[in-house]
């Protein structure tokens, strides 16, 4: 199951902290104790603890130990590379996805620029609305290079596209760049979402890269103002 020892340790503790069986302020065993407990070396334990620290689960204090952080973070979408499906499941909300469009289209000049295409070749386009507790709040517009995603079934689009890409197509997704801004609503937004009278909308542009650094997906996630929230955890770089 867990090929790597450090991943095993990381998974053990992140699960315990998320589930609440380890609560804020509690002290973890020392690195030497963990190394012995897992039958590994201290550096391997340290790698796991470093990841827990990077992801906001614990905090390490020299001379004292590692401590669980107060972490009811991640209130809503878009932190890290977490998918909408993962987040809504975690929240246990009543969520529905409506697929408006799921087809191969010639790319417009704007999409070609976003995907860094030389010519206006075809792209696979998916347009979906996310309905949360009866209101259509988020509009997701996805564009994929047809080289990697020649087509997508309605089932894949309705469930999780990422699940399909990673588990079926085995695309090695590596990293993403996200840009958040606020823009004026478009007629399309008004038509496809329950926007009330808001004149602006939060736009999250997502550029997704494979491990060979090719850009293969561009996504525009358009959120109704009042329902948008983004949570971020950051560590100050030490000197």
As a residue count, the chain comes to 239
Applying CB under 8 A, among 5, 8, 12, 59 the residue interacting with a second copy is 59
- Rank residues 41 and 159 by Cβ distance to DNA and give the closer one: 41
Task: Fill in the per-residue mask, 41 to 70: x = in contact with DNA (CB under 7 A), - = not in contact.
Answer: xxxx-xx-x----------xxxxxxx----
Residues β-bridged to residue 166: none
Q: Which two tokens stand for residue 129?
A: 């609305």
Q: Which two tokens stand for residue 44?
A: 């391997």
Q: Which two tokens stand for residue 173?
A: 């997704």
Applying CB under 8 A, among 118, 170, 196, 236 the residue interacting with a second copy is 236
Determine if 26 is a binding residue for DNA (CB under 7 A).
no
Q: Are the CB atoms for 209 and 176 separated by under 8 Å? A: yes
Which three-class secondary structure state does DSSP give residue 3? coil
Residues 156-185 binding a second copy (CB under 8 A) are 173-182
Determine if 190 is a binding residue for a second copy (CB under 8 A).
no
- Rank residues 25 and 121 by Cβ distance to a second copy and give the closer one: 25
Please tell me the number of Cα atoms within 13 Å of 157 on its side-chain side: 22
Q: Which two tokens stand for residue 98?
A: 């409506």
16 DSSP assignment: H
- Rank residues 40 and 158 by Cβ distance to DNA and give the closer one: 40
Residues 37-56 binding a second copy (CB under 8 A) are 43, 54, 56
Residue 174 binding result from DNA, a second copy, none, given CB thresholds of 5 to 8 Å by partner type: a second copy
Kindly determine how many residues on this chain lie close enough to bind a second copy according to the rule CB under 8 A. Answer: 44
Q: What is the DSSP pairing of strand 95-106 with strand 65-68?
A: unpaired
Q: Are the CB atoms for 78 and 221 separated by under 8 Å? A: yes
Q: Among all chains, which residue has been given the structure tokens 């399909």?
A: 164
Measured CA distances, 200 to 35, 84, 129, 193 (Å): 53, 22, 17, 13
Which three-class secondary structure state does DSSP give residue 36? helix
Q: Segment near DNA (CB under 7 A), from 35-43, 97-105, 159-167, 174-182?
A: 35-43
CB of 137 to a second copy, least distance (A): 13
User: Which H helix or E strand runs over 130?
Assistant: strand 122-132
Task: Fill in the per-residue mask, 87 to 116: x = in contact with a second copy (CB under 8 A), - = not in contact.
Answer: ------------------------------
User: Which H helix or E strand runs over 68?
Assistant: strand 65-68
Residue 58 binding result from a second copy, DNA, none, given CB thresholds of 5 to 8 Å by partner type: none
Q: Which residues bind a second copy (CB under 8 A)?
A: 7, 25, 43, 54, 56, 59, 61, 67, 69, 73, 75, 79-81, 173-182, 198-200, 202, 211-213, 225-226, 228-237, 239
User: Which residues are near DNA by CB under 7 A?
Assistant: 3-7, 28, 30-33, 39-44, 46-47, 49, 60-66, 238
């Amino acid at each position: 199951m867990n090929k790597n020892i450090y991943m095993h340790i990381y998974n053990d503790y992140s699960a315990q902290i998320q589930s609440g069986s380890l609560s804020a302020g509690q002290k973890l065993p020392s690195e030497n104790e963990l190394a012995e407990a897992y039958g590994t070396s201290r550096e391997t334990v340290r790698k796991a603890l470093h990841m827990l620290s990077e992801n906001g689960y614990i905090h390490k204090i020299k001379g004292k130990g590692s401590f669980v952080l107060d972490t009811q973070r991640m209130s809503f979408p878009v932190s890290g590379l977490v998918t909408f499906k993962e987040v809504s499941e975690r929240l246990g909300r009543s969520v529905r996805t409506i697929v408006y469009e799921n087809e191969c289209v010639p790319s417009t000049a704007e999409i070609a620029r976003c995907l860094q295409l030389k010519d206006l070749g075809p792209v696979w386009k998916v347009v979906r609305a996310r309905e949360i507790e009866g209101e259509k709040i988020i509009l997701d517009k996805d564009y994929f290079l047809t080289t990697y995603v020649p087509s997508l079934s309605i089932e894949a689009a309705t469930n999780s596209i990422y699940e399909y890409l990673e588990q079926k197509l085995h695309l090695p997704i590596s990293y993403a760049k996200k840009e958040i801004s606020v823009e004026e609503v478009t007629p399309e937004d008004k038509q496809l979402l329950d926007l009330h009278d808001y004149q602006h909308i939060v736009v999250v542009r997502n550029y997704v890269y494979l491990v060979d650094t090719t850009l293969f997906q561009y996504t525009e996630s358009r959120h109704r103002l009042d329902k948008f929230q983004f949570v971020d955890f950051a560590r100050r770089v030490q000197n």
